[in-house]
Structure 1
Amino acid sequence: MTHLFRRPGASSRTAPRRALVGVAAVALSAAALTGCGLGDALVGVQDVPREVGDTAPVSAESAETIATRVLTDATRAREATGAEAQQLRAKALTGAALTVTSADSRLARAGSTSTEPVTKATPPKVLGISRGNSWPRVMLVQSSREDGRTALNVLVSESASEPFKLASSAAMQPSSSVAALDSLDQGSPLNPQGTGLAVAPKALLEEYAASLRYPKPATAEHVSSSDVFARAVRANAKSQADSFAKLASLRQTHTVQPDNTVVISLRDGGAVVFGLLERTDTITLKPSGKSLTPSADFQKLLGKKTLTKSAQMHTYETVVFTVPAKSGTANLVAVDETLVSAKGE
């Protein structure tokens, strides 16, 4: 993570970039397996079943084919420009992935100097499929990025008439892991309310968001807030505030986006929780501060080289946690962040 502002006269030797930036959809590709001419049955469009079963709704082989198709389409959508971009995104993406990709495309149009993640032609691996024939249907998929990192992806089919789309994705943190899910044939139950978990998904995300707040972070009880990402967010906020000295103040909040949460059960009774937070950085100049110089990305979004009153930046944070059953502490296992918008005067 890098500072968005520097004091007048401060060094600008380091080129600005987003440290964890990346819409995971662009980093998840199986290009070598594209163009297979898949029919509707292979992309999740099926007739409404007569009864709800207790096994996975698609076979392991079909799931691998679906995953390849979805991630390839997601990559095409992310890389598209012009009139076709919106149509391709609507076809390939949903939920947090669509929200993040649409936001990131606005930054690209503004001429960001940030480096976008590149894709790697590695076949995805399906880790789990939701159990039963009801909707929504969900798949948890692992893929690789060009830099060697592993990405976790959620694919969702909302109804019998809707194919699977990429709903959320994030790069795994160093040394993190996810316990096994039930077999692909058996399927893994969805658990949106978090029944039987050490902490409910809604409470988990709100608790983690509060622990990242600046300048007064809350103490997290049910989720570890000492992961690499959390430490970096808090350290960066403090460093940024310190660099302002008496010129400006910084306030940072993290807000849960509740409609973008997906919860998939693990074999041991725990769960994987995908969520989306929106970080808001608000910088307000003090009477003693005459101006601030934004980073290059910020300048291009604003169309201004200096700020004399205030500035605000919005960033999406895609987060993935593992939550134990009954008791224990939830842990962050994957995360991505993407600059959404900026304004100032």
Structure 2
Amino acid sequence: MLQLHSRAFFGRLAAVFGAALLLTACSDDDAEDSSPALPSTVAFTQAGLYPEGVQYDATGNRFLVSSQTRGAVGQVKDDGTYTQFADDAVLVSTIGMRVDESRNRLLVAVSDPGYNPARTSAATQRKLAGLAIFNLTSGQRTAYVNLGGLRPTQNHFANDIAVDDQGNAYITDSFAPIIYKVDAQGTATVFLEDAQLGAPAGAFGLNGLAYHPGGFLLVAKSNEGALFKVPLAAPASLTRVTLPQALTGADGLLLQDNTTLQVVTNAQAKVYRLASTDNWATATISGTFSTPPQYPTTLARRQGADSYVLYSNLNALQANQNPPVSVFTIARVTF
């Protein structure tokens, strides 16, 4: 009898411990489920905004978007709320942007493709290339640099921006075969000018670029679907990255890690993930994300390796679509 009672006692004891473990496990699961999940898409309504650039400001928990038609920079929350972040008379059309968190600034490429009727002019249309810098907290403009003035006889379109560890900014020009450099003190120079980076009149040449901590830039050339590696110490010794296929319409770039690069191709409505094992002498395609035919342009990094692509619908703007597009989407990229 004693043996039977002991077995019953230990059986009940085991059941109690089992229930406790189950509750603990459920509690852990609930804690994991309660952590906020990243949204798969963020849609916001701003009729005719036509943003080309997007960045994520982790401190402010917001996306920042540019506008070819208004010039102003906006901020977008995960619930789709859009408010203006910064505006200035020099912002004819805002294109690519770069959040520089360590220096609490937002760098904005400024051009004039003629889509902002309130600010375009004969003096600036297809001739403007500028860099505007804003305080990331207040939205106040702290600097403006006229880049096109370095080559006043050429057409210009400042497109995208990369920032190195020292705070130097590099800006591509889609209408001239030029990459500009603006140092941390605001002095602008022509970092690289090379005929092979040019494009036929009316076509977009240089576009997205990314800074690699190995001491070089990776730069996209849209009309050829090419990718170039440009050493910071000797930019004239640039080389073409060997790719398995042309990335036609290559636009925004995002360096996921030292051996992985994401490339938006608006002409193909895709984001390609490239991998390199030889320090970007060559690269292979390791993943593809297909987007709706809404003219994706560029990427924003959010929470580590996660990236979001902007559906700009610039093709509708270029076609003078009426009514204009009202809803724009920022979508999480999954390969």
Q: TM-score range by the shorter chain?
A: under 0.3
Q: Which has the larger radius of gyration?
A: 2
- Going by fraction, where is helix more abundant, 1 or 2? 1
Q: Using structure 1 for the length normalisation, give the TM-score.
A: 0.26
Structure with more relative contact order (C-alpha pairs < 8 Å, separation 6 or more): 1
